């Protein structure tokens, strides 16, 4: 009999149940999409934010004090200690090696050129797109990965050549263009491109790292190393000093992709080095990610609240239309619990149907968001399905509670007369 009453309710009130079901489906669909994107968005946003450039810098341990003002290094280029280029591939042997997008060594050297307009210049040696190997892994790294805003008019130099780039302001000062030549330290070099960065490099010569080492007379020398890594936003654990942690907490910190923990592992991989985050970039990434997730949470709560209001309105109208039925049930001896159980059973069935449809629609919406915004696939975790069904049930029960509470208080005498 109980099942028959539920079936008849859906059969006779198709429109009311359809409106409530649509409200649940839409609310749950938006919630599914937002939760799916939020749980899979960290790495994707981090990769998008890598267009800001490297977020870690590694320098020699004996040379941790840089003299920089406005991004310009005022320390003599050849002054200070050096890292060993042979140690750089060891970065791919760290615990978070798969989070290292790329790295670019830098070696500034003071040089002279055969031009009256420029006497003492800085030649910056680096990797452009260097092929390296660590163990059995081959990979490519350089400024074309870590400094994506560097723009070249012409061609990029080969890392195994002696070709160079001229910064655009220096090229204009010297009257040089791509395809010409420049004499550096008595040797002629081909200018294959004009570099535009908006920074100090616009007044410098940028060349393969090996050329800078040759001019300096220090094979394998690296002045500083820029590293681009995928990280997670800082929390309370990330800000703690690892020296103050017990072994259990330290293991959790070490195995989390914080900027600080990756910097710690870089220091372990590269002897006599000091690694630290480029704080402005790293903090901005965390702020952007937190705000996007906060916005998604707000959209999810607004959608579920609107869904609950729509369900409440539909259920209130449906129960009011069935007040005579409720009065008859009570007149025949049904108690408040029996009446409430009938309506909650209907709400549960609506929630399950709306939850399944909403989950399917939300999964499609999440995948569309992934393709259109991040140009990648959003992964829908299986554990999300029961969570979404639980959310659908909670929202439906919350929206129906007031209407059902009113139904169980109907006086059978007035209800059978058709009065509220």
Is this prediction's pTM over 0.75?
no
Q: Which helix or strand (DSSP H or E) is residue 38 part of?
A: helix 14-40
Contact, 340 vs 11, CB < 8 A? no
Could you give the count of Cα atoms lying within 13 Å of 60 in the half-sphere of its Cβ? 14
More confident residue, 300 or 326: 300
pLDDT at 91 over 90: yes
Q: How far, in Å, CA of 212 to CA of 239, rounded?
A: 38
pLDDT at 260 over 80: yes
pLDDT in tens, 183-209: 888 889 999 999 999 888 999 999 999
Nearest to 104, CA basis, from 207, 222, 208, 226: 226
pLDDT in tens, 154-177: 999 999 999 999 999 999 988 888
Q: How far, in Å, CA of 168 to CA of 150, rounded?
A: 11
pLDDT score recorded for residue 335: 63
Q: What percent of the chain has pLDDT over 70?
A: 77
Average pLDDT, integer, range 374-384: 78
pLDDT score recorded for residue 43: 58
pLDDT at 360 over 50: yes
Q: How far, in Å, CA of 408 to CA of 311, rounded?
A: 18
Tell me the sheet residues that pair with 126. 106, 208
pLDDT at 78 over 50: no
Query: By mean pLDDT, which of 62-76, 87-101, 207-221, 365-379 is the weakest?
Result: 62-76
Residue 98 DSSP symbol = G
pLDDT score recorded for residue 69: 47
More confident residue, 420 or 211: 211
pLDDT at 73 over 90: no
Question: Counting beta carbons within 10 angstroms of the beta carbon of residue 19, is it exposed (0 to 12), middle (13 to 18) or buried (19 or more)?
Answer: middle
pLDDT at 51 over 70: no
pLDDT at 60 over 50: yes
pLDDT score recorded for residue 70: 47
Q: How far, in Å, CA of 195 to CA of 179, rounded?
A: 13
Q: How far, in Å, CA of 358 to CA of 391, rounded?
A: 11
Query: What integer best gives the mean pLDDT of the chain?
Result: 82
- Within 177-255, where are the H helices? 209-216, 247-254
**Six-digit token pair at 35?**
């939760």
Residue 297: phi and psi, rounded to 5, are: -65, -40
**Residue with tokens 């654990």, as numbered in its chain:** 237
Q: How far, in Å, CA of 392 to CA of 249, rounded?
A: 37
- DSSP labels for 372-394? IIISSPPP--TTHHHHHHHHHHH
């Amino acid at each position: 009999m109980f099942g028959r009453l539920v079936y008849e309710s859906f059969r006779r009130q198709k429109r009311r149940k359809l409106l409530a079901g649509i409200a649940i489906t839409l609310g749950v669909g938006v919630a599914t999409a937002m939760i799916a994107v939020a749980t899979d968005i960290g790495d994707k946003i981090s990769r998008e934010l890598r267009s800001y450039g490297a977020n870690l810098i590694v320098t020699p341990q004996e040379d941790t004090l840089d003299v920089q003002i406005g991004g310009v290094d005022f320390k003599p280029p050849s002054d200070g200690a050096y890292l060993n280029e042979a140690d750089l591939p060891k970065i791919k042997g760290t615990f978070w090696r798969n989070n290292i997008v790329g790295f670019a060594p830098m070696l500034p050297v003071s040089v002279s050129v055969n031009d009256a307009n420029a006497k003492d210049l800085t030649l910056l040696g680096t990797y452009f797109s260097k092929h390296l190997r660590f163990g059995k892994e081959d990979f490519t790294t350089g400024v074309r990965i870590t400094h994506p805003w560097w723009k070249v008019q012409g061609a990029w130099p080969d890392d195994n050549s002696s070709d160079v780039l001229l910064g655009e302001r220096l090229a204009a000062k010297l009257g040089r263009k791509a395809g010409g030549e420049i004499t550096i330290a008595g040797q002629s070099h081909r200018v294959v491109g004009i570099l535009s960065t908006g920074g100090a490099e616009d007044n410098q010569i940028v060349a393969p790292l090996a050329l800078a080492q040759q001019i300096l007379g220090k094979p394998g020398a690296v002045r500083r190393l820029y590293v681009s890594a995928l990280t997670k936003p800082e929390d309370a654990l990330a800000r703690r000093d690892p020296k103050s942690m017990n072994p259990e907490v330290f293991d959790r910190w070490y195995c989390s992709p914080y900027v600080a923990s990756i910097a710690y592992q870089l220091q372990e991989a590269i002897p006599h080095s000091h690694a630290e985050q480029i704080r402005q970039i790293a903090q901005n990434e965390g702020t952007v990610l937190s705000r996007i997730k906060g916005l998604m949470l707000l959209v999810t709560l607004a959608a579920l609240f609107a869904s609950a209001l729509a369900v409440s309105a539909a259920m209130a109208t449906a129960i009011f239309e069935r007040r005579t039925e409720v009065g008859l049930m009570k007149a025949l001896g049904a108690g408040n619990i029996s009446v409430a159980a009938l309506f909650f059973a209907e709400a549960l069935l609506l929630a399950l149907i709306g939850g399944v449809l909403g989950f399917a629609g939300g999964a499609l919406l999440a995948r569309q968001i992934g393709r259109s915004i991040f140009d990648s696939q959003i992964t829908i975790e299986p554990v999300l399905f029961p969570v979404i069904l639980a959310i659908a049930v909670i929202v439906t029960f919350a929206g129906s509670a007031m209407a059902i509470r009113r139904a169980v208080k109907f006086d059978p005498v007035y209800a059978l007369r058709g009065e509220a």
